[in-house]
Amino acid sequence: MSRRLPGRPRLESVPLDATAFHRVKRGGVDSEWEDAFALDTAAGRYALADGASASVRAADWAGHLVEGFLSDPFDLADSSALAEWIGRRCAEFTRANPDPNAETMDTGNWVRLASSARHSFATFLGVEFGRGSGQDVTVGWVGVGDCCLLVARGHHLLWSSPMGPGDSFGTHPDLISSDAGLAARSAGRSFRGRAEVAPDDLVLLMSDALAEWALGSAGAGSGSWVQLGQVDDHGFGALIDDLRDHDRIVNDDVTLVRIRVGRSAATGKGS
C-alpha cells in the first residue's frame, strides 16, 4: 500500500526514490501475504510490519500499524510517545474489528472464551527522514521485533538495526499486540536510532526472513544489499525463488522497502 498524505511537510529539495517488493511464502497465494508496508515519500516516512501468522487478523493488524505511522506521526525518540501511539492503534483497531462473539459469550465454554481472547500480533519498523542541525539529511527509526533497517554506501554496509551481520534471529521476536494491555509493554522492548545519510546512500527495510539472509550474506562479505539495491520486481521474484530452491532463506513472506537518497537540487546535480 502506498499513499501521500496532504498537509504533511515536504523534505525540501531532498529527493527520495522509494519502491517496495514482496512475495508470499512458497505454496501460498498473494491474498495470504501477512506483511504490510506504507510509503509517503513527500513526507519522508516509511513503514513495514510483519503480521504473526499464529495470530488472528495478522495482515489487517500489520496494515493498520503501517498506515497509522503515516497518518498519526509522533516523536520517534520518545518511548512514551511510542506507547501512546500504540495505544491509539489498539483502540482504533478494536473499534474497526469488534469481537463478533462479545454479546453472546458463554463464559462457561472455555474453548470459545480462549478463542475470543486471541489477539493480533506483528513486528513493526517505522522510518522518518529529516534535517539535522545544518543541511544534513538524517534518518530516524523505531521498531519492535525483527524487521530490520540496513543502510549501505556503495559496497559498504554502514549499519543495521536491530540485528547485525551474523546475528541469530530466533523464532520468538518481540511483537506489538492489538490488545491494549499486552501492547503497553511493547514500547519498553522497542529499538530506535538516528543517523546522517548522504546522497546515493541506500536505506533498506526488510522483513525478518529477507533480513536474516542479507545480514548473513553481509557477514560473508557477499554484499547482498548491492543486489537488492539494483533489482526490479521481476528480479526480486527470481532472487527469492533461487534462495528458496537452495534453502538459503526461510520459507516465509518477504518484503523489501528500498529508498535511495538523492542529491539536493541546490548542488545542481541529478539524483
Residue with cell 513526507: 43
- At 207, the amino acid letter reads S
Taking Cα atoms as reference points, which of 154, 259, 168 lies closest to residue 206?
Answer: 259
Average pLDDT over residues 48-76: 95
> Which of these ranges, 7-11, 14-18, 71-75, 225-229, has the smallest mean pLDDT?
7-11
Helices (H) and strands (E) in the chain, counts: 7, 11
Rounded CA-CA distance 34/23 in Å is 10
Q: What are phi and psi of 121, to 5 degrees?
A: -140, 150
Contact 50, 35 (CB under 8 A): yes
Residue with cell 495478522: 58
Q: Supply the pTM of this predicted model.
A: 0.86
Give, as one character, the DSSP assignment of residue 192.
E
pLDDT of residue 48: 98
Digit-coded pLDDT (tens) for 224-256: 888 999 999 999 999 999 999 999 999 999 999
Digit-coded pLDDT (tens) for 84-121: 999 999 999 999 887 644 443 344 443 333 344 478 99
Rounded CA-CA distance 54/223 in Å is 33
Rounded CA-CA distance 122/162 in Å is 16
Rounded CA-CA distance 240/17 in Å is 23
Rounded CA-CA distance 213/167 in Å is 10
Q: Has residue 61 got a pLDDT over 50? A: yes
Q: What are phi and psi of 35, to 5 degrees?
A: -85, 170
Q: Has residue 13 got a pLDDT over 90? A: no
Average pLDDT over residues 132-153: 90
* Bigger pLDDT: 142 vs 182: 142
Q: Where are the alpha helices (DSSP H) in the chain?
A: 58-71, 79-96, 110-116, 180-183, 208-219, 224-230, 233-245
3-state secondary structure of 73: coil
Digit-coded pLDDT (tens) for 178-192: 999 888 889 899 999
Q: Has residue 75 got a pLDDT over 90? A: yes
Q: What are phi and psi of 263, to 5 degrees?
A: -95, 140
pLDDT of residue 101: 47
Rounded CA-CA distance 74/81 in Å is 6
Residue with cell 491509539: 88
pLDDT of residue 98: 74
Partners of 249 in the β-ladder: none
pLDDT of residue 14: 72
Rounded CA-CA distance 20/55 in Å is 25
Rounded CA-CA distance 22/37 in Å is 9
Instruction: Sketch out the chain's domains with CATH numbers.
Output: 16-267 (3.60.40.10)
Average pLDDT over residues 55-82: 95
